[in-house]
């Protein structure tokens, strides 16, 4: 018997005015999978992430996490369940150091409140120590130690993309939603990112849903590929299956964007 899905989309409909962004979208993600989400610009990939995280509310349908509806939960509650995301456009605090960006990302897991922090209670100190240890561990794992004290704005784009991924890990998620983690990277940097993602998956037992345009990266990274076109799921299968799917070829050719 197959286990319960980790995340389940049940006929999700999202509209902005007359624009149908997601059209009766249904699919499931299973624990330990690496799923690539592909589709032309405007297909609804980022909007789907926004629905999962509670930033957008679908007009109808349900999103379930381990069998429980999360459609009505606020973003911080959803994050607290173990769902973390990176942004298509890097959303770091440019004037803060690499380490501080990670420590801010961890606020979810700091258990003590403000009073405890002001008083420096033993619980607060324990949390603070744990928080820093986790951040250092992530920096180490991603070979970012050399940049820990550097202001993010002063770092090369490729390093910033990696810090954006590092930030998502600080809240100890079980599902990572990565929105174009390799966009704008050189092919060498893409390969590096690809291996790092696979390493992180192994190290932390993560499930990954990754928006990715480069089919070469998709083939090496993903167990499964979901294809969206104008908010419709047009294919769901292994990279091999999806690549040869007539509607996938058509969707990409139609948009003059071969990946």
Ligand X SMILES: Nc1ncnc2c1ncn2[C@@H]1O[C@H](COP(=O)(O)OP(=O)(O)O)[C@@H](O)[C@H]1O
* Gap between the Cα atoms of 207 and 5, Å rounded: 11
Q: 127 or 214: whose CB is closer to Mg ion?
A: 214
Residue 8 phi, psi dihedral angles, 5° rounding:
-135, 130
Write the interaction track for Mg ion spanning residues 66-95; mark x where CB under 5 A is met and - where it is not. ----------------------x-------
Residue 21 interface partner, choices Mg ion, ligand X, none, CB cut-off 5-8 Å depending on type:
ligand X
- Residue 251 beta carbon to ligand X: minimum distance, rounded to whole angstroms: 12
Instruction: Based on the shown chain and the rule CB under 6 A, indicate whether residue 54 belongs to the binding site for ligand X.
Output: no
Residue 240 interface partner, choices ligand X, Mg ion, none, CB cut-off 5-8 Å depending on type:
none
Instruction: Based on the shown chain and the rule CB under 5 A, indicate whether residue 168 belongs to the binding site for Mg ion.
Output: no
Taking the CA atoms of residue 136, residue 81, residue 31 and residue 7 in that order, the dihedral angle to the nearest 10 degrees is: -140
Q: Applying CB under 6 A, which of residues 8, 29, 34, 44 lies at the interface with ligand X?
A: 44
Token pair recorded at residue 164: 């954006």
3-state helix, strand and coil shares in percent for the chain, rounded to the nearest 5:
40, 25, 35
Stretch that binds Mg ion, among 21-29, 46-54, 76-84, 100-108 (CB under 5 A): 46-54
Residues contacting 255, CB < 8 A, separation 6+? 40, 41
Instruction: Based on the shown chain and the rule CB under 6 A, indicate whether residue 45 belongs to the binding site for ligand X.
Output: yes
DSSP 3-state of 14: strand
Instruction: Based on the shown chain and the rule CB under 6 A, indicate whether residue 42 belongs to the binding site for ligand X.
Output: yes
Q: 15 or 31: whose CB is closer to ligand X?
A: 15
Q: Please say whether the beta carbons of 15 and 57 come within 8 A.
A: no
Instruction: Based on the shown chain and the rule CB under 5 A, indicate whether residue 46 belongs to the binding site for Mg ion.
Output: yes
Residues contacting 50, CB < 8 A, separation 6+? 56
* Gap between the Cα atoms of 208 and 222, Å rounded: 9
Stretch that binds Mg ion, among 11-19, 41-49, 126-134, 189-197 (CB under 5 A): 41-49
Q: Rule CB under 6 A: which of 4-23 touch ligand X?
A: 16, 19, 21
Binding site for ligand X (CB under 6 A): 16, 19, 21, 39, 41-47
């Amino acid at each position: 018997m197959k286990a319960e899905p980790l995340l389940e989309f049940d006929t999700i409909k999202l509209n902005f005015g007359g624009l149908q962004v997601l059209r009766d979208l249904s699919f499931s993600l299973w624990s330990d999978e690496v799923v690539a989400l592909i589709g032309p610009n405007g297909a609804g990939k980022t909007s789907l992430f926004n629905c999962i995280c509670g930033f957008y509310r679908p007009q109808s349908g349900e999103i379930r996490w381990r069998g429980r509806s999360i459609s009505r939960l606020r973003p911080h509650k959803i994050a607290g369940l173990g769902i973390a995301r990176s942004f298509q456009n890097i959303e770091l605090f440019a004037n803060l150091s690499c380490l501080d960006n990670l420590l801010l990302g961890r606020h979810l897991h700091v258990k003590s409140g403000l009073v405890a922090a002001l008083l420096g209670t033993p619980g607060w100190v324990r949390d603070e120590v744990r928080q820093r240890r986790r951040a250092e561990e992530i920096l180490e794992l991603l070979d970012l130690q050399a940049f820990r004290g550097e202001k993010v704005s002063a770092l090369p784009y490729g390093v910033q993309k990696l810090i954006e991924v590092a930030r998502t890990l600080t809240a100890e998620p079980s599902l990572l939603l990565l929105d174009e983690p390799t966009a704008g990277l050189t092919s060498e940097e893409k390969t590096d990112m690809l291996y790092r993602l696979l390493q992180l998956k192994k190290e932390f037992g993560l499930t990954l849903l990754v928006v990715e345009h480069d089919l070469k990266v998709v083939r090496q990274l993903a167990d499964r590929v979901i294809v969206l076109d104008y908010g419709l799921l047009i294919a769901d299968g292994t990279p091999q299956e999806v690549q040869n799917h007539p509607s996938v070829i058509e969707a990409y050719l139609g948009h003059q964007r071969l990946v």
